[in-house]
Amino acid sequence: MMDPQEIEVLIKAGLEAAEVEVQGDGRHFQATIVSPAFAGKTPIQRHRMVYALLEEHIHSDVLHAISMRTLTPDQRG
């Protein structure tokens, strides 16, 4: 099992200037991620960037599911 703070640390370590908020119950999480690294990327490309950072934990089934909103700083509104 993971806690939301662990996921936040992993994402922040891998994404330029990321602002990350994660909520969840240990297996299922929801994340809002704001990063300039997402500029010019499609939503699928953005999600793949985040999944790549969490891949080891997803494959080992420590992290079962994560849904996410991926935004650039300009989209944050």
pLDDT in tens, 33-58: 999 999 999 999 999 999 999 999 98
Dihedral sign of CA atoms 71, 74, 75, 77 in order? positive
61 located within any domain: yes
63 located within any domain: yes
Contact call for residues 50 and 31 (beta carbons, < 8 A): yes
55 located within any domain: yes
Confidence at residue 63, expressed as pLDDT on a 0 to 100 scale: 87
29 located within any domain: no
pLDDT in tens, 11-23: 999 998 999 999 9
Please give the tally of structural domains in the chain. Answer: 1
Q: Give 64's pLDDT tier (boundaries 50, 70, 90).
A: confident
8 located within any domain: yes
Structural domain of 17: 4-23+42-75
